[in-house]
Structure 1
Amino acid sequence: MIGVELFAGPGGLGLAAERVGIRTVGIEWDASAVATRVAAGLATIHGDVTKYGPADVPGQVLTGGPPCQTFTIAGNGEGRLELERVLEGIKLLEAREVVDPGMFSDPRTALVLEPLRWALEAIDKGIGYQAIVLEQVPAVLPVWEAYASVLRREGYGVATGKVRTEQYGLPQTRVRAVLVARYDAPAALPAPTHRPYKKGVPQSEGDPGLLPWVSMGEALDRAEPFTVISNYGTGGDPKNRGRRTSSEPAFTVTGKISRFRIIDARGNESRFSHSEAGVLQGFPADFPWSGSDIPQQIGNACPPTLGAGLFENTVHRRPE
């Protein structure tokens, strides 16, 4: 089975797909992310997703995480403000009309419509995808829900929702909006395998039917306990930096992960290496990060740990 990964980045979803036996081809325009993918042996087209379609890159599974800069809280918020225009764009695509990126104040916002364009174009060409897996920041959930309405009318079973990555074994608290779809079959989000993290609640407490969440100390090869001081302010105060110990999961890994300060028991300060930041994002410790702005590559990637669960449950799940 072949998967097509849109906005492939360094290969988070592609790596996840390959972990469950799906060979992937990724389309990515950023040269540094392409360098990482090539070093990792992931099949890659260095190009613009908007210039391609399903006839150019055939496959049975469609996956991707469109750029989120205009939707994320850390961005300028244009995507959230223009949500109604995005939903209008979805209606245009369903009617098989062209969406003009000029209808948005930031053309990157239009990129969130690309997976639906690919899915509908594949249907129209008689090469519709057997399965679709998409993920993004929580603010994109209304877009996925609108996608779901369209895809159901096209014969797909679809499930959408928000998932917490520490509940799938990632040593990091991160909430993502996801969509999974299967043609002519029911779809469902994967059941959590690990307990949710709650500050002050020990790993040993919680649902006995679930595994304990994974801490930074368990995931990283650091012999001594440490405290992480994040780049984020809490309570709306940028001077009040968040703190977590190595016995807790990491804060959400973003492109600013290199700014996190690590203080050991003797007061020595360090930073996460690229390998460590990648591990916290679910990549192997020896993943060959290449090119420039590696922290941004890591922060933008879908955690393979989460992606593998989404693919396994969607592509290999038996019909009910």
Structure 2
Amino acid sequence: MKALDLFAGAGGWDIPAHALGWDADGVEIMPEARATRAAAGLKTVADDVRDVDPVPGEYDALIASPPCQTFSAAGSGTGRRALDAVLHGVRLFGQGGVRPTYAELAALTGDERTALVLEPLRVALASRPVFIAWEQVPPVLPVWEACAEVLCAAGYAVATGNLSAEQYGVPQTRKRAFLLARRDGQPAALPTPTHSRYYSRTPDRLDGEVLPWVSMAEALGWQSDLAVRSSVGDGGYNKPRDRPGHAPSPTVTSKSRSWVLRNGNQAKACERTTDQPAGTLFFGARLNAVEWHLRVTNDRPNTAHRPGTAPAPTLAFGKSRPEWDGAAGEKRPLAIEEALVLQTFPADFPLQGSRTKQFLQVGNAVPPGLGAAVLRQLR
């Protein structure tokens, strides 16, 4: 199976593709990500997606994760405001005849990055791969649905929808919009969840007939009977220890439960204890705000398990409910190795570039564990 991976990044799609025996060619413009790919033994055949024009039959599969900054809730929102223009661009592709150029689409949408979301459709219609897998943030789902109509008219069976990463064994509640298509005579379908959905208002609730979601503590190996396995031999992505589908998440002692991962610097930033999955990891401008914080209470032993090199906790008395002990300074940034594991990369994955660029590569990537579920569904 020969695959072309547009906007390939550090290799979130390519790690599971290689585990399935696929030969993947990546297209990536970020120098640090290209260096990471080289260090990890992943191929990069071009830097600019706009210059890629494969011929029919050159690739069996087309994978793509276009930039999401303008569509993401964490970004400027220009992509969301230009949604009608993007959908009009999709219709132009479906009309046949002379297809719109990238310059025309950029002018139509008002943003060059926003126009990139239509490049996978251009490449798909020109090269006619047998299999297609695209991923983006949830606000792009209407674009994927519009692309599905064009692909159906071109002879593809297509499925679209949002997938939640924790339902595929990723220790993170990351939701993304997917499009899967095929023209091998088989129906297209999204992968069936293997793990329970995480219910933030009722964390003890679990879906039946599937495994429980995976907690941060379990993935990070912060319990003596659990370990992170991330060797190439097991697929190259984190595989936490399986538990029976009816069993709750394994008990994490009050020591490790005292630590909370705070993801962002907004007033309502996502906060999760280590016996829960992480919220969606995002970096960039908020790099230094993804931190471990110690929550100290009077009903919990003050010998908390401290991740990494965090300082010893300070005693806090007289509190009737959990409070942040800000004065004690009990916090530290998320380590890059921890970010890799929570994104289901190998903990020793050879990221290149500055610390900021390394975190950006992790945050931008498809979790390899989720990518594996999608690619297995296509195969």
TM > 0.5 between the two?
A: yes
Cα displacement (A) at 1:117:
0.2
Distance 2:270 2:137 in 1: 20
**Equivalent residue, structure 2, for 1:72:** 72
User: What amino acid does structure 2 have at the position aligned with 1:261?
Assistant: E
The answer as to whether partners of 2:159 and 2:188 remain within 8 angstroms in 1 is yes
Higher mean C-alpha displacement, 104-113 vs 89-98: 89-98
TM-fit CA distance, 1:60: 0.5
Q: Does 1:269 align with 2:331?
A: yes
Structure 2 counterpart of 1:228, from 248, 254, 260: 260
Q: Deviations over 1:46-83 (max 9, x none)?
A: 41000111139931100010001111111111111111
Match of 2:373 among 297, 309, 318: 309
- How big is each residue's C-alpha offset from its partner over 1:222-271, in whole Å with a ceiling of 9 and x where there is no partner? 466152342436xxxx3344321110000101124552221352534222
Task: Write the distance in 1 (CA, Å) between the matches of 2:210 and 2:121.
Answer: 35
Aligned counterpart in structure 2 of residue 117 of structure 1, from 117, 122, 126:
122
Could you tell me which residue of structure 1 aligns to residue 39 of structure 2? 39
* Identical-pair percentage: 45
| Misfit runs of 4+, over 6 Å | none
> Which amino acid in structure 2 is aligned with residue 27 of structure 1?
V
SS of equivalent to 1:3: strand
Match of 2:250 in 1: none
Q: Which residue of 1 aligns with 2:144?
A: 144
Q: TM-score, normalised by structure 1?
A: 0.90
How far apart are 1:202 and its partner, in Å?
5.0
Q: How does 1:1-320 map to 2 (within 5 A)?
A: 1-55=1-55, 58-94=58-94, 95=96, 96-99=98-101, 100=104, 101-122=106-127, 128-183=128-183, 184-199=185-200, 201-202=202-203, 205-222=205-222, 225=256, 226-232=258-264, 238-255=266-283, 256=286, 258-264=288-294, 265=304, 266-267=312-313, 268-292=330-354, 293-314=357-378, 316=379
Q: Quick one: structure 1 residues 148 and 56, their matched pair in 2 at CA, closer, same or farther if it must change by over 3 Å?
A: closer
How many residue pairs get aligned? The number is 305
Is the partner of 1:69 in helix, strand or coil?
coil
What secondary structure, in the 3-state scheme, does the structure 1 residue paired with 2:122 have? helix
Alignment partner of 2:260: what SS? strand
Larger fraction in strand: 1
- The two structures have a TM-score, normalised by structure 2, of 0.76
CA contact (8 A) 2:56 2:129 kept: no
Gaps of 5+ in 1: 123-127
SS state at 2:88 partner:
helix
Residue 311 and residue 154 in structure 1: after superposition, are their counterparts in 2 closer, same or farther (change >3 A)? Answer: same
The Cα of 1:23 is off from its aligned counterpart by 1.6
Larger radius of gyration: 2
Which range moves more in the overlay, 130-139 or 76-85?
A: 76-85
Is residue 228–residue 260 contact of structure 1 (8 Å, CA) maintained in 2?
no
Between the aligned partners of 2:67 and 2:267, the Cα distance in structure 1 is: 29
Summarize the Cα distance change of 1:275–1:57 in structure 2 as closer, same or farther, 3 Å threshold: farther
